[in-house]
């Protein structure tokens, strides 16, 4: 794969990548890192031949397996797993998804599903899968397709540490089998010893490094955990929400996804619901918000104003651009590093930009109870710090925040933890 003097332009002719020249060898694993919005996903879209779908203009030369990145020419060589899992699965059941889009036998599907910890999900309804389970289905599809070039965009983002290690192990096996893998991820430690080189993107510029230790992200992560940045505001004040022995199962399932959940949330605290992928964290937030009704047990809310920011921020945002979403609160755009994209259509924002915008929008609504699902997913440490600062400010003003996440960043702000 060869790139020569490649520049990529987006909305209003904004330069996303400029003058990038790079050779990627067969059997190489390339890790792509950089700040949110730096062009990592754009880079993968260019390699996958889908840049035109996102109004991206490419200058320079790209050759993938000897061809220009035209889907009709490179589809037999390339498989692409996008960042946002909810747009990645088309069939009603995972096993039909894998049978339909690969040439694999059911035996091979079962072997890979066991390696990824999703064997028991193969015959579940796709609509009942968690984001992390969908991600693993998509990775299984990429592995079973046996393509020469595998593009993975933040495929570990919605996974707990155990399932991240499973993904990394299989990528290592892919490399040994001769496939080229390009991975976008912020989890540097996960890929240590597996990746051959690192492509660091910043402000349109690209730097090729030999080790994850050489990236500015590595030092920023160390800095983030080195200091106690946030005060704790834990109070013994009034209870704003209580859940008692809550059970829930989806109407088309005989398995309880939530079983016996009990918790209180107190005014002015951050309560962290922590658990692995597929443990029902997102479902619990929907139960607490009143979107779902418990099969057993009860949830009582003692505040009228509450907001739920789901893990898919598209389901929260309601305006065409960040400027219209935030109205007069341009200060929030500045605080969450969204000033440069205020007039960009929300559909063309990066996943991290949409997530930060949804949190800024919820902040502007000033609810007494805020429920947030995976606030730091897909964020570099600089923007994770910005989000944590916003949550900390809301807490100091008396807002109760309940966060569902497996991200270690929540260790820095959570007052209490409920394991699920």
> What percentage of residues in the chain have a pLDDT greater than 90?
65
Residue 371 lies in a domain: yes
Residue 233 belongs to some domain of the structure: no
Residues 6 or more apart in contact with residue 1 via CB below 8 angstroms: 23, 24, 47, 63, 64, 65, 149, 180
One-letter-per-residue 3-state SS of 116-144: CCCHHHCCCCHHHCCHHHHHHHHHHHHHH
| Nearest-angstrom CA–CA distance, 294 and 342 | 39
The confidence score (pLDDT) of residue 213 equals 84
pLDDT at 231 over 70: no
The answer to whether residue 313 scores a pLDDT higher than 80 is: yes
Full domain range(s) for residue 212: 2-226
259 and 290 assigned to the same domain: yes
Tell me: do 221 and 256 sit in the same domain.
Answer: no
User: Do 309 and 353 belong together in one domain?
Assistant: yes
Domain assignment present for residue 234? The answer is no
Residue 226, pLDDT above cutoff 70: no
pLDDT of residue 229: 54
Residue 351 and residue 374 in one domain: yes
DSSP state of 339: G
pLDDT, tens digit, for every residue of 166-224?
A: 999 999 988 888 899 999 998 888 999 899 999 999 888 999 998 888 888 877 777 76
Final residue of a structural domain among 195, 226, 257:
226
pLDDT band at residue 227 using 50, 70 and 90 as cut-offs: low
Q: For the chain, give the mean pLDDT.
A: 91
Beta bridge partners of 219: none
Same domain, yes or no: 203 and 251: no
pLDDT of residue 386: 92
The proportion of the chain whose per-residue pLDDT surpasses 70, expressed as a percent, equals 97
Counting the structural domains of the chain, the total is 2
Q: Are residues 198 and 145 in the same domain?
A: yes
265 vs 243: CA distance, rounded Å: 9
Q: Is residue 318 packed enough to be buried (19+ CB in 10 Å), middle (13-18) or exposed (0-12)?
A: exposed
116, 170 Cβ separation under 8 angstroms: yes
Q: Which two tokens stand for residue 144?
A: 């079973």
User: Average pLDDT of 222-240?
Assistant: 66
Examine the domain organization and report whether 117 and 255 are in the same domain. Answer: no
Residue 244: both structure tokens together: 């008692």
**Which residue reads 């996974």 in tokens?**
159
Is the pLDDT score of 232 beyond 60? no
pLDDT digits (tens, 9 = 90+) for 39-57: 999 999 999 999 988 889 9
User: In 102-202, which residue ranges form alpha helices assigned H by DSSP?
Assistant: 106-115, 131-145, 161-176, 188-191
Looking at the fold, whether 210 and 247 belong to one and the same domain comes out as no
Looking at the structure, tell me whether residues 140 and 280 fall in a common domain.
Answer: no
Do both 55 and 93 map to the same domain?
yes
Which of 23-27, 138-142, 210-214 has the weakest average pLDDT? Answer: 210-214
Does 180 lie in the same domain as 96?
yes
pLDDT at position 128 is 86
The answer to whether residue 232 sits within a structural domain is no
Residue 354 lies in a domain: yes
Instruction: Give just the sign of the alpha carbon dihedral 46, 50, 56, 58.
Output: positive
* Spatial separation of the C-alpha atoms in residues 349 and 122, rounded to whole Å: 32
**Residue 181: inside a domain:** yes
**Coil, helix or strand at residue 238:** coil
Of 226, 252, 287, which residue constitutes the final position of a domain?
Answer: 226
Q: Is the pLDDT of residue 248 over 90?
A: yes
- Supply the pLDDT for residue 24: 93
Dihedral sign, Cα of residue 168, residue 79, residue 94, residue 129: positive
Instruction: Answer yes or no: is pLDDT of 228 > 80.
Output: no
Is 231 part of a structural domain of the chain? no
CATH of the domain at 265: 3.40.50.300
pLDDT for 150 beyond 90: yes
Helix (H) or strand (E) holding 403: strand 400-405
pLDDT of residue 233: 54
Helices (H), 37-120: 40-48, 71-74, 94-101, 106-115
* Neighbour count for residue 1 (Cβ, 10 Å): 22
Q: What is the pTM of this model?
A: 0.86
- Mean pLDDT value across residues 298-308: 94
Beta bridge partners of 300: 242
**The last residue of a domain, from among 226, 257, 276:** 226
Rounded CA gap, 2 and 21, in Å? 8
Q: Which pLDDT belongs to residue 234?
A: 55
Asked whether the predicted pLDDT for residue 9 surpasses 90, the reply is: yes
Using the predicted structure, report yes or no on whether residue 104 has a pLDDT greater than 80: yes
Give 182's contacts (C-beta < 8 A, 6+ positions apart). 24, 29, 30, 32, 43, 44, 47, 149, 150, 151, 152
Give the tens place of pLDDT for each residue, 107-138. 999 999 999 999 999 999 998 888 889 999 99
Query: pLDDT tens across 325-379, in order?
Result: 999 999 999 999 999 999 999 988 888 899 999 999 999 988 899 999 999 988 8
- pLDDT band at 23; cut points 50, 70, 90: very high
Could you tell me if residue 390 is inside a domain? yes
**3-state SS assignment for residue 309:** strand
34 pairs with which residues across the strands?
A: 201
248 and 101, same structural domain?
no
């Amino acid at each position: 794969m060869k790139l020569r003097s490649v520049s990529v332009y987006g909305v209003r002719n904004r330069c996303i990548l400029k003058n990038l020249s790079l050779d990627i060898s067969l059997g190489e694993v390339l890790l792509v890192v950089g700040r949110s919005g730096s062009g990592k996903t754009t880079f993968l879209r260019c390699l996958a031949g889908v840049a035109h779908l996102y109004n991206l203009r490419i200058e320079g030369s790209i050759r993938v397996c000897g061809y220009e990145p035209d889907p009709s020419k490179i589809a037999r060589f390339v498989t692409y797993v996008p960042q946002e899992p909810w747009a990645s699965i088309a069939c009603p059941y995972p096993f039909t998804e894998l049978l339909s889009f690969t040439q694999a036998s059911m035996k091979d599907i079962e072997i890979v599903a066991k390696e990824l910890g999703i064997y028991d999900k193969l015959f579940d309804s796709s609509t009942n899968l968690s984001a992390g389970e969908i991600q693993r289905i998509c990775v299984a599809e990429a592995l079973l397709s046996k393509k020469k070039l595998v593009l993975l965009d933040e495929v570990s983002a919605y996974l707990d540490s155990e399932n991240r290690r499973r993904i990394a192990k299989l990528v290592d096996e892919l490399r040994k089998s001769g496939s080229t893998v390009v991975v976008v991820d912020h989890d540097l430690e996960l890929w240590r010893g597996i990746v051959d080189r690192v492509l660091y993107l910043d402000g349109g510029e690209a730097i090729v490094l030999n080790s994850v230790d050489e990236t500015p992200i590595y030092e920023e992560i160390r800095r983030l955990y080195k200091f106690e940045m946030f005060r704790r505001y834990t109070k013994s004040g009034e209870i704003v929400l209580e859940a008692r022995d809550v059970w829930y199962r989806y109407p088309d399932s005989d398995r309880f996804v939530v079983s016996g959940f009990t918790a209180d949330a107190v005014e002015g605290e951050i309560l962290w619901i922590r658990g692995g992928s597929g443990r029902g964290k997102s479902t619990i937030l929907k139960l607490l918000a009143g979107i779902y009704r418990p099969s057993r047990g009860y949830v009582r809310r003692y505040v009228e104003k509450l907001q739920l920011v789901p893990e898919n921020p598209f389901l929260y945002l309601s305006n065409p651009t960040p400027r219209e979403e935030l109205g007069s609160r341009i200060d929030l755009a500045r605080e969450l590093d969204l000033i440069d994209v205020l007039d960009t259509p929300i559909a063309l924002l990066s996943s991290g930009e949409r997530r930060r915008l949804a949190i800024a929008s919820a902040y502007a609504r000033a609810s007494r109870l805020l429920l947030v699902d995976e606030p730091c997913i897909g964020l570099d440490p600089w923007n994770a710090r910005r989000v944590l600062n916003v949550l900390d400010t809301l807490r100091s003003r008396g807002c109760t925040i309940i966060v569902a996440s497996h991200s270690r960043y929540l260790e820095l702000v959570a007052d209490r933890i409920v394991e699920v």
